[in-house]
Amino acid sequence: MTSHPPIPDPLDPLPAAALYKRCDPASLPFATTAELTPLDQPLGQDRAVAAVRFAIGIRSAGFNLFALGPEGTGKISLIRGFLERAAATQPGPDDWVYVQNFSESHRPRALRLPPGRAPELKKDMERLVEDLRLAIPAAFEGEEYRTHRQVLDEQFKEHHETAFRDIQERASKHGIAVLRTPVGLALAPMKDGEVLSPDEFKQLPEDHQIRLKSDMEGLQQELETRLAELPLWTRQQRDKIRELDRETTQAAVAHSLEEARKAWDDVPAVLDYLEMVRADVIDTLAEFIDRDSDGSEEKSGHSLRRASSEASGFRRYRVNVLVSNNGGTGAPVVYEDHPTQPNLVGRTEHLAHLGALITDFNLIKPGALHKANGGYLVLEARKVLLNPYAWEDLKRSLRAREVRIESPGQSVGLFPTMTLEPEPIPLDIKVVLIGDPMLYYMLADEDPDFGELFKVAADFDYRMDRSAEHELGLARLIAGLTTQEKLRALDAAAVARLIEHASRLAEDGEKLSTHMASLADLVRESDYWAGQEPAPLTNAAHVQRAIDEHTYRHDRVRDHVLEEIIRGTVLIDTEGEAIGQVNGLVVMELGRFTFGRPSRITCRAHFGRGDLVDIEREVQLGGPIHSKGVMILASFLSARFAQDQPLSLAANLVFEQSYGEVEGDSASSAELYCLLSSLAEAPIRQDYAVTGSVNQYGQVQAIGGVNEKIEGFFDVCRARGLTGQQGVLIPASNVMHLMLRHDVVAACEAGLFAVHAVENVDEGIKLLTGVPAGEIEDDTGDYPPGSINRRVAARLAQFTRRSRQLSQETTGLIGRTGRDR
Amino acid sequence: MDKAAHTMPPTRRIMVAIDASPLSLAAATAAAAVARRLGSVLEGLFVEDINLARLTDHPEVTVVSILHARHHPEYHYVIGQALRLQQTAARRAFEAITPLCPLPGGFHVRRGRVAVEMLAAANECDLFVIGWHGDEATPRDAAFGTIARALIETCRRPVLVARQTVEDSTRIAVLRDDAAAQPLAGVLAGEEGDLDRLSHPTEAAPDHLLVVSRSVAVDLQGAPCSLLVAPPA
């Protein structure tokens, strides 16, 4: 590993060693990655790792974890790795099943069972029902039941017939017929088995008529009394039959149930459930015995119900295994890739039956919270937030520490149709949300529940120090990847090139990117190019090829931009001088591909009222940070040149041929150079480009994308032919970020291109104009003659004098006008 | 039993008793099927019970509702209307099945004591068809109704007591299994139907018909079954 040399005089270009921090393959303690032990722990994420360990260790409520960091930094794999290792040492959670609630069928009961025993209960219940379906009909078809039932029937019939036969016989003795009619029982005078007609009745002796009427009245009252007793007799008969059926059923189920009870005598919840099953079987006996089409019970003997269990009511004795931890390999770690509300809290499915949607507890499906109960659930925060109701229901479950299965929107009353309300299941879970930092800070600011429920943040860094330890760690990670994916091993030079690229991705020669996804892709792509030769090892050339090919696949737009500059459509000079005109540098981002390009900035200054006009802002193409940068220029100008007089200046700054939004203050130093050039009427070298922001004191400050910006101007110059005079001015504080392309470094090394690091505006203006900025001399209190500052001060003084002159003329005019009056 | 062991006497005229009760309607459908199979004329019979008819407008009659267990002075006026409706329903039911018969005959209404009138009508045809039990309230009671008992005991012509619709295949139990009954039973049962010979009860028993009916209902595992009663040869 080498370090950047000290920054030279700004008038001298940076040495090649400062432009790129190389990684010496000889400094790596291996020849190929095949010699290395794969790294089994995360690299460069010490803070995040500590947070993850803490979150796993603490079992208190609310200490759920939010892992925040840029995508591609290996958050998911790191967290899953930690969770799986921790979960393996923890006990497996209990099983959960849903069973019928026999008293409230729309509220299925949840039963907690020892780990792995849910399938056993399911089988036991299936066997029990099968046994009962054979045992119960057999009991009812048996001789004993039939005899008892026949006796009951005969007793009822006998009771019934005796009661009415008695009336009928007495009526007959008195010459009265008891007839069954469509509207009831009729009593009518009778003779020789036939009802007397009204005329025949009138012909009877009067006393006979009176006696008959009296007898009929008596019989009528008796008949009414007997008929009134009929419902009672019928009910008593039904009760007797029901009692007989209950006794028969109880005897039939006793043996089968006892076996089941013995198997589950260590689980009280199951014993309770079996007791309820016993009661229900007796109450709903008809399910086990045949019925005729009209639903009435067959008197002539019960027979086995042949209908399938699907169509019958036997579904209610099933056991719906919600979660079962069969393997017993520790606590579960569940990653839910599609966290919709039903996928999180579970759902109740429905079956279409005769045009209606029906459901029961057998159609309850578990959600990720059920599957991860007793363990860990990993979710991507963005996906959770994008799915309606998922976030709210997740929070409610964590707050209440129970999972309540509700259809989406049910909790807010959107769907008032009746459905199942399964008994909530107690929740003991650690949820890990993964998301980008913006999402984390947004939730922390906007959602009052968030802080209570996700108390631990694992903040993943996007970069790590470029230390020997991390360089070796990166090499071991690469070794792990090549082993896992059966790729070629990399030689030390290839790894060195990868380390350099990791610094480039981090935009810092002293750092390494932790964006493992990009680095892993580069290893895969390098392996591909090695395979094209084919080569036994991936070497540095393969890595460089992979980088170049990747760039080539993505740089169509950059090529077009460059082409338009070379063709003169976009005006960029790379030689000569011009007053009030400078080459600024901008960075364009196209997805994950970024590149720099020069952009001409011009300034026209003239007498005015102290207005510094940012044309980009005036047309609303300038962002707030860009506007801030321009305002700082005005402040700098006033502070340096207008301490004791007004700034009678008007200047317009513009990004020429810029048709999109301009944001950032990285061009503010370029704008200041341009303004000073315009005021001093000092031409600026057009073979230089400038980047860097500036503060009120004229110090040049670091900016982002420094490598891309330098490369952007270099590409234009190279396309026109490198003159050896061209170069870029960058802030001195950006030197440590330099990781330039090899061709740029080579050109600088050959003296064909230059990168200058400047500390302040005075250094920059001297480089650009060849004229010193000048410092105030103690004896004169003025800037040296010919210096930029002297010329600017003189110009501004000229504007001020003109302003005073105009003011006096106006005052005089007014005075004269006043006297004329 | 061999279904075609004997020559069958001609069955030219079949009569079915209809009172619009569910089992009498089943009997009518069964009779239509038999008539179609034998090419017989099918006639319908409704007997208006003279005793019930006399209740109508009878000032001295008392009617007690079974449902309410109370005497209703107005109820006996309803009896006449009910009888007329019953007769109309029976006629319509017969008319509904006549398209099924190759030779539809007339619908007859007789007035008198039901058993007597039925027996008289049964003795005038070649096969008389009645429902097992007229009481809709106890359709599964294995016992015969009073009319069926009277016909079985005294009719000189074959009587089919129907418990089901006689379709292409059916189950027929034969009482008094002798040479006269066998051919007709075979035709009634059809090619694929079941023919069961009942154990011959002792007619001297106090209630041998009850035993017969139980035999049909219970011994044959409760399967729907009709009973053919043929007079002794």
User: What is the tens place of the pLDDT at every residue in B93-140?
Assistant: 899 888 878 888 899 999 988 889 999 999 998 888 888 764 443 434
| Co-location of A126 and A173 in the same domain | yes
**A300 and chain B: CB distance < 8 Å anywhere?**
yes
Q: A777 and A783 in contact (C-beta within 8 Å)?
A: yes
A24-28, A438-442, B214-218, range with the lowest pLDDT: B214-218
CB burial of residue B141 (10 Å; 0-12, 13-18, 19+): middle
Give the structural domain span for A299. 118-315
The answer to whether position A703 is within a domain reads yes
Could you tell me if A230 lies within 8 Å of chain B, comparing CB atoms?
yes
Domain finish residue from A289, A315, A341 = A315
pLDDT of residue A749: 95
- Average pLDDT on A249-275 reads 90
Determine whether the interchain pair A179/B50 forms a contact, defined as Cβ–Cβ distance below 8 Å: no
Distance (Å, whole) CA B158 – CA B50: 26
User: Can you give the pLDDT at residue A477?
Assistant: 92
How close does chain B come to A115, measured CA to CA in Å? 50
Alpha-carbon gap: B103 to the closest alpha carbon of chain A (Å):
33
Pairing of strands A95-99, A320-323: antiparallel
The pLDDT value recorded for residue A305 is 40
Q: Of A734, A83, A77, A736, whose CA–CA distance to A460 is shortest?
A: A77
User: Is residue A594 located within the same domain as residue A571?
Assistant: yes
pLDDT of residue B217: 47
Co-location of A398 and A493 in the same domain: no
CA distance A597 to A280: 81
Task: Among A182-191, A676-685, A701-710, name the one with the lowest average pLDDT.
Answer: A182-191
pLDDT tens digits, one per residue of A149-184: 888 888 888 887 787 888 888 888 888 988 888 788
Amino acid at A567: R
Complex ipTM? 0.71
User: Are A262 and A366 in a shared domain?
Assistant: no
pLDDT band at A689 (very low <50, low <70, confident <90, very high): very high
User: In 3-state terms, what secondary structure has residue A460?
Assistant: coil
Question: Are A550 and A564 in a shared domain?
Answer: no
pLDDT recorded at residue A807: 79
Q: Do A185 and B69 touch (CB under 8 A)?
A: no
A754 is a domain residue: yes
Domain shared by A167 and A292, yes or no: yes
Task: For residue A586, give the CATH number of its domain.
Answer: 3.30.230.10
Determine contact: B111 vs chain A, CB below 8 A.
Answer: no
Instruction: Please name the residue of chain A whose CA is at the shortest distance from the CA of residue B54.
Output: A197
Residue A9 belongs to some domain of the structure: no
Which chain B residue has its CA at the smallest distance from A229's CA? B69
Which of B193 and A525 is assigned the larger pLDDT? A525
Residue with tokens 């046994």: A131
Pairwise CB contact (< 8 Å): A198 & B58: yes
Is the pLDDT at A428 greater than 90? The verdict is yes
Across A309-323, A504-518, A687-701, least confident range? A309-323
> pLDDT at position A659, please?
77
Q: Over the stretch A324-381, which tens digit does the pLDDT of each residue have?
A: 987 667 899 999 999 999 999 999 888 887 777 888 889 999 999 999 999 999 999 9
Average pLDDT for A1-16: 69
Residue bearing the bigger pLDDT, B163 or A178? A178
So what's the pLDDT on residue A489?
Answer: 96
**Which residue from A183, A223, A228 is facing B75, i.e. has the nearest CB?**
A183
| A411 and A468 fall within a common domain | no
Q: What percent of chain A has pLDDT over 90?
A: 53
Interchain contact B75–A (C-beta under 8 A): yes
Q: Is the pLDDT of residue A418 over 70?
A: no
Does the pLDDT of residue A304 top 50, yes or no?
A: no
- Amino acid sitting at position A706: V
* C-alpha–C-alpha distance, residues A484 and B20, integer Å: 87
The full DSSP string for A35-64 is: GSPPP-S-SS-HHHHHHHHHHHH--STTB-
| Amino acid found at B42 | L
**Above 80 in pLDDT, residue A298?**
no
With a cut of 80, say whether residue B215 has pLDDT above it: no
Q: Please list, residue by residue across B190-207, b when 16 or more beta carbons sit within 10 angstroms of its beta carbon and e when fewer do.
A: beebebbebeebeeeeee
Between A399 and A590, the higher pLDDT residue: A399
Where in chain B does DSSP place strands (E)? 13-17, 41-49, 62-65, 70-71, 103-112, 127-131, 159-162, 171-175, 194-197, 226-229
Position A435 pLDDT exceeds 90:
yes
Total domains in chain A come to 4
Domain boundary among A429, A459, A489: A459
- CB contacts, 8 Å: A140 with chain B: none
Interchain pair B75, A196: CB under 8 A: no
B12/A contact by beta carbon, under 8 A: no
From chain A, the residues in CB contact with B82 under 8 A are: 181-183
Smallest Cβ distance to A201: which of B60, B69, B222?
Answer: B60
In B18-131, which ranges are E strands? Answer: 41-49, 62-65, 70-71, 103-112, 127-131
Residue A97 is assigned to a structural domain of this protein: no
Is the minimum CB–CB distance between A220 and chain B shorter than 8 Å?
yes
Rounded average pLDDT over A754-769: 95
% of chain A beyond a pLDDT of 70 = 92
User: Among residues A459, A494, A514, which one ends one of the domains?
Assistant: A459
Residue A487 has pLDDT above 50, yes or no: yes
User: Looking at the predicted structure, is the pLDDT value of residue A790 above 90?
Assistant: yes
pLDDT at A254 over 90: no
Task: Categorize the per-residue pLDDT at B196 as very low, low, confident or very high, splitting at 50, 70 and 90.
Answer: low
Interval A806-819 mean pLDDT: 65
Residue among B60, B65, B217 whose CB faces A183 most closely: B65
Nearest CA in chain A to B65: A184
Residue A308, pLDDT above cutoff 80: no
Q: Residue A114's pLDDT is what?
A: 92
Nearest C-alpha of chain B: how many angstroms from A178?
9
Assign residue A357 the CATH number of its domain.
3.40.50.300
Please state, in angstroms and rounded to a whole number, the distance separating the CA atoms of residues A512 and A525. 20
**Rounded Cα distance, A656 and A582, in Å:** 10
Confidence of residue A474 (pLDDT cuts 50, 70, 90): very high
Same domain, A646 and A659: yes
Neighbours of A704 (CB within 10 A): 15
**Distance (Å, rounded) from C-alpha A85 to C-alpha A79?**
10
Residue A62 belongs to a domain: no
Q: How many CB pairs under 8 A join A and B?
A: 105
Inter-chain residue contact A184 with B65, CB threshold 8 Å: yes
pTM here is 0.67
Rounded distance between C-alpha atoms, residue A652 and residue A646, angstroms: 18
CA nearest to A176 within chain B: B61
Is residue A100 a part of any domain in this protein?
no
Q: A304 and A424: one domain? A: no
* pLDDT exceeds cutoff 60 at A242: yes
Looking up tokens 């990166």, which residue turns up? A474
Tell me, yes or no, whether A20 lies in a domain: no
pLDDT recorded at residue A731: 96
Q: Is the confidence at residue A255, as pLDDT, over 60? A: yes
A204 touches chain B (CB under 8 A): no
Q: How far is A283 from chain B (nearest CA, A)?
A: 25
| Pair (A532, A417) in one structural domain | no
Do the Cβ atoms of A384 and A368 come closer than 8 Å? Answer: no
A497 has pLDDT over 60: yes
Q: Is A298 in contact with B72 (Cβ distance < 8 A)?
A: no
Closest partner CB to B55 (pick from A188, A298, A301): A188
Interface of A with B in 671-710 (CB under 8 A): none
| Residue A459 clears pLDDT 60, i.e. is over it | yes
Q: Choose the closest CB to B51 out of A177, A228, A299.
A: A177
B86/A224 Cβ within 8 A: no
Whether A230 and B69 lie within 8 Å, measured CB to CB: yes
Chain A hits for B66, Cβ within 8 Å? 184-185, 227, 230
CATH number at residue A36: 1.10.8.60
Contact yes or no for A324/A119 (Cβ under 8 A): yes
Sorting pLDDT into bands at 50, 70 and 90, what band is B194?
low
- Same domain flag for A171 and A275: yes
Checking if the pLDDT of A9 tops 50, the result is: yes
Amino acid code (one letter) for A37: T
Q: Which of A25, A552, A648, A92 is nearest to A333 (CA)?
A: A92
Do A297 and A374 lie in one domain? The reply is no
Compute the distance between CA of residue A302 and CA of residue A245 in angstroms, rounded to an integer.
11
- Tell me whether residue A105 is in a domain: no
The pLDDT mean for chain A works out to 87
